[in-house]
Structure 1
Amino acid sequence: MSNKKILILFFHPRFEDSKVNVKLVEGVKQLSGVTFRDMYELYPDFNINIIEEQELLLAHDIIIWHHPFYWYNCPPLMKQWLDLVLEYGWAYGSNGKMLTGKWAMNVISSGGNFNVYHNEGRNRFTHREFLNSFDQTAHLCLMEYLPPFIVPGANKLSSAEIENYMIRYEQIAHFLMKDNIDVSKLRLVENFNQLNEDQWEHQFYKMQ
C-alpha cells in the first residue's frame, strides 16, 4: 500500500456558483490520503501564511492545483500563492531544493470545449500548451509535472456528465497514490482525459 499523500489547493473565487466544481470537490475531498484546502475561504484577504503553506507542501508528495481556467490562466489568488510560497532559495535557486521529486499537476474547469482549444480552433492552442507556465514552474522547483485533468465545456454539462467527471477525478487520485508509477511515461501524455483505468493499469507501472 502506498503512503503517498495528495495536497489539493483549490482556487475558485466563486466556488458556490460553480456546479461542476462543487461536485468535483465533493468526491475527492473525502478520500483517504487527500488534504483539501479551499484557498479563497482560507485567504479572502490574500494574506497568505507562507510558512504554513510551505510546511504543507513538505508534508505531501503530490500537489494538485485545482482551479477554473481564467483567461487561459489561473485566478489571482493562485498567482499570489505561486509568487509568495515558492520562494527563491527554498523552492528554486542554487539552494532551493525543498520540493525535489514531488509531483504537481493542474485540474481545471474550462468554459471552452476541446474543439476550440487546438491549433485550428478559436483559441489557437491546446489547454496543455496554455499550461506550460505551470509545467516550467514545477520543473524549476525540481518537481515532476503530470498531465492535467480537464473538465471542458463546464458551463454546459449535464448532471450525469458532471457526475462522471467527479468519479474520474477520484480515480485519478487513487491511481496517483499507488506505488511503482513510471512517471517518465506518464509525463508524455497530453492530459488525463485521454486515458482510462485499464490504460493506467497496463501502461504506467514500472516493471518489477
Structure 2
Amino acid sequence: MKSLVIAAHPNLSNSVINKMWIDRLHQEKDITVHDLYTEYPDGRINVEREQQLLLEHDRIVFQFPFYWYSSPSLLKEWQDVVLTYGWAYGSEGTKLHGKEFVLAISTGGPEAAYQAGGHNQYSMSELTKPFQATANLTGMRFLPSFTTQGVRFLTDAQIRESAEELVRHLKASY
C-alpha cells in the first residue's frame, strides 16, 4: 500500500514533533511525504500535480498541527482547489473512491483539554468531523486518526517514540 502524507505546517523549522514525524516518514519507501508549505511558498497550488499524486496513492494522510480547531490555512486552500466537483465528488467525481483517509494531528494542549468538560469542551473526534465529512463526500474510507497531544510537554524520547508510533499507524491494516 502506498501512502501519501500531505504535511501542512506553516513554520516547520520551529516545530519539534511535525519535523520529527516528517524526517521519520522520509525513511519509509512506501510513504511519500509532500510538504505543502515547502512546495507552495507562494500559496499557488498546482491542481493537476496534486490530483495526480492522489491518484498514485492508496492511503491519503493529512498531517498538521491543530490550529484553531482545524488545519493550517494552506491545507484548507489545498482542499478547496484540489478536491473539485466532477473529480473528487459529484456524480462524475469518483477519483478518490475506495482510497483510505487518515489524519495525523499534533496539539500543544494535553489530551484532557480535548474532551467534554475539558478546556476546549469537545473531543478530537467531534472537532475533526469536517474531515470525516470530506472523506464521506469523496468516497474515501475514514480510518482512525493518529494524534499526539500535549507536545509542549514531551521529552525528546517521547517525541521519537511518537514518530515510530505514527509509522506503525500508517502501515497498519484496517
Cα pair 1:28 1:173 within 8 Å, conserved: no
The equivalent position to 2:79 in structure 1, one of 78, 82, 85, is 82
Q: For residue 103 of structure 2, what is the aligned residue in structure 1? A: 106
Q: Trace 1:7-22 onto structure 2 (pairs within 5 A).
A: 7-22=4-19
Q: For residue 44 of structure 1, what is the aligned residue in structure 2? A: 41
Give, as a single letter, the amino acid of the residue that structure 1 aligns with 2:83. L
The equivalent position to 2:158 in structure 1, one of 152, 156, 161, is 161
Structure 1 residue runs of 4+, over 6 Å off? none
| Displacement of 1:103 | 0.5
- Equivalent pairs, count: 174
SS in 2 for 1:106: strand
The equivalent position to 1:115 in structure 2, one of 112, 116, 121, is 112
1:140 is the counterpart of 2:119? no
Partners of 2:36 and 2:27 in 1: CA distance: 17
Greater Cα radius of gyration, structure 1 or 2:
1
Where structure 1 has 5 or more consecutive residues not aligned to the other structure, the ranges are 182-208
1:129 is the counterpart of 2:110? no
Partners of 2:116 and 2:107 in 1: CA distance: 17
SS in 2 for 1:115: helix
Partners of 1:168 and 1:144 in 2: CA distance: 21
Give, as a single letter, the amino acid of the residue that structure 2 aligns with 1:135. Q
**TM-score w.r.t. structure 2 length?**
0.97
Percent of aligned pairs with the same amino acid: 38
Q: For residue 175 of structure 1, what is the aligned residue in structure 2? A: 172
Partners of 2:132 and 2:170 in 1: CA distance: 19
Give, as a single letter, the amino acid of the residue that structure 2 aligns with 1:21. N
Q: For residue 5 of structure 1, what is the aligned residue in structure 2? A: 2
Partners of 2:14 and 2:6 in 1: CA distance: 18
Deviations, residues 12-66 of structure 1 (Å, cap 9, x unaligned): 0000101111111111121011111111000011100000000010010000000
Give, as a single letter, the amino acid of the residue that structure 2 aligns with 1:59. E
Where structure 2 has 5 or more consecutive residues not aligned to the other structure, the ranges are none
Deviations, residues 69-95 of structure 1 (Å, cap 9, x unaligned): 000100000000000000001100111
| Displacement of 1:156 | 1.6
Give, as a single letter, the amino acid of the residue that structure 2 aligns with 1:15. L
| Displacement of 1:173 | 2.2
Partners of 1:18 and 1:144 in 2: CA distance: 29
